[in-house]
Amino acid sequence: MQKILIIGATSAIAEAVARVYAVRASAIFLVGRNAARLDNIAADLRVRGAHQVASAALDVNDISMHAATLDAAWSAFGGIDTVLIAHGTLPDQAACDASVELALREFGTNGTSTIALAADVAQRLQAGGTLAVISSVAGDRGRASNYLYGSAKAAVSTYLSGLGQRLRPNGVNVLTIKPGFVDTPMTAAFKKGALWATPDKVAAGIAKAIDRRRPVAYLPGFWWAIMMVIKNIPEFVFRRIKL
C-alpha cells in the first residue's frame, strides 16, 4: 500500500492527484490551510476507495510548524513513501513591482517555504521513496509578465536538481514537475486556449512520472519543446519580445 503525503492538498492539481491515489487504495495524508476544505476532500477520497485518509492544517509560511506537521504525517501511517509538495500562489507582477514587502512574501510562499519543506522531507524519506514538487515552466526563464513567480520557481527547480543528485545514492527519487498553463481557480481570469490543460490531465502525468521515477516532468509533455525554444533565444532578442 502506497502512503502519500500531499502538501497544498486543496489546490486543484493536488486534489486531482489525491483522487488518482484514492482509486489505488492508498493511504493519503492531506495538508493545507483550510481545515474544513481538507475534511471535505478527505470524505470524498474515502468514497473513492482510499485505504485511509488523515489531514492537518498548516500555513506553509510558518516554517516553525513544518517539522510538527511532517511528524504527524509520518506517525499517522507509520511512515510515508511519497511526498507531493503542491502549494503556491500566482502573484500579480505589477503589485509585486510596487511593493517589496509583497514581492518577498510571494517569493516566500512559492520559493522559500517549498525549499524548507523539501529539506525536511529529504531527511525522512527512505530508499524507494519519492519527493515530487510542483515547480513551473515559468522558472525556466524570466518573463516580464511574471518574473517574481518565475524566479521563485527557478529557485525551487535548481534546489531540487541538486537535492535529487544528492539523494540518488540513497535510493530516493526527487521529481521536479513543470506544468504549463493549467485551468484552475487560480487562473480563472486568464483567457484559455489550445495550450491549456485540465488538472486531471496534469494529475495523471504526475502519477505516471512518480511511478516511473523520473527526475523531471513537463506537463503536458509538449511544454518541453516549447521551453527548449524559449530558453535558447538570445538575451538581446528575448528582451524585445513581449511575453
The DSSP 8-state label assigned to residue 183 in this structure reads -
The rounded mean pLDDT for the chain is 96
Average pLDDT over residues 170-187: 93
Would you list the domain boundaries of the chain?
A: 3-238
What pLDDT is attached to residue 191?
81
The DSSP 8-state label assigned to residue 112 in this structure reads I
What pLDDT is attached to residue 21?
98
Average pLDDT over residues 127-151: 97
Strands (E), the chain: 3-7, 27-32, 52-57, 82-85, 130-134, 173-179, 216-219
Average pLDDT over residues 133-147: 96
What pLDDT is attached to residue 194?
83
Reply yes or no on whether the pLDDT at 242 is more than 90: no
pLDDT band at 70 (very low <50, low <70, confident <90, very high): very high
Reply yes or no on whether the pLDDT at 140 is more than 80: yes
Residue 152 neighbours by CB distance under 10 Å: 29
Report the CATH fold assignment for 3-238: Rossmann fold (3.40.50)
Reply yes or no on whether the pLDDT at 170 is more than 90: yes
Cα-to-chain-centroid distance, residue 190: 20
Query: Cα(first)–Cα(last) distance of the chain, in Å?
Result: 44
Average pLDDT over residues 133-140: 97
pLDDT band at 243 (very low <50, low <70, confident <90, very high): confident
Tell me the three cell numbers of residue 84: 507531493
What pLDDT is attached to residue 192?
80
Are the beta carbons of 19 and 205 closer than 8 angstroms?
no
pLDDT band at 189 (very low <50, low <70, confident <90, very high): confident
Task: Determine if the pTM surpasses 0.85.
Answer: yes
Average pLDDT over residues 3-23: 98
User: How many CA atoms within 13 Å lie on the side-chain side of 233?
Assistant: 18
